[in-house]
Amino acid sequence: MKIIFSILCGLLLTSCPNKNMNDNQETKEIVHLFEGNLLGAGEEGLKKENFIISSEKEWKEFLNKINRINKVSSKFEPSVNFSTDMVLIAIEEVKTTGGFGIKVAELEEEKEKINVIVERIGPKPTDMVIMVITQPINIVKIKKTNKEIIFVEKSK
């Protein structure tokens, strides 16, 4: 009987959610909206940069830019609730071959800031790549925060 009671107590204790742990995980959650390439040969007018969009107006202006040549937003759900979320965007420069990519890999939360880890990916010298003009882009959504957001770049 003691064994059964011990097992039940153990299950009960391990299945109780830890509210602090869940809150921390929600803050660090990244929802990938789009990861791929713009194929307009740079005609979208976007340069290599990382930035934050925190309003509906900025979001619509950005969508108009990326949809200027090809309707990129048709590949993802473009609606964002800016009262609870914000959008992070990482864009690579225009490349003359395939094999390049960019990704918002993770969030490292500190007391007063959030480090956004951006990985820039490129082909190895021995890799065979397609000859096409591309511009890697990654669009993600995170929970709105008042903490300072700092983009930290890493090459892979």
Give the integer Cα–Cα distance in Å for 146 and 156.
30
pLDDT in tens, 118-139: 999 999 999 999 998 999 999 9
111 lies in some domain: yes
Domain assignment present for residue 3? The answer is no
Token pair, residue 128, equals: 């065979």
Q: Examine residue 41 and state whether it is found in any structural domain, yes or no.
A: yes
pLDDT at residue 3, as a whole number: 55
Residue 19: band (very low, low, confident or very high) from pLDDT cuts 50, 70, 90: very low
- The answer to whether residue 22 scores a pLDDT higher than 60 is no
Domain-embedded: residue 12:
no
In angstroms, rounded to a whole number, what is the distance separating the alpha carbons of residues 96 and 75?
Answer: 23
Range of the domain at 131: 31-155
Number of domains comprising the chain: 1
Is 16 a domain residue? no
**How confident is the model over 36-55, as pLDDT tens digits?**
888 888 778 889 999 999 99
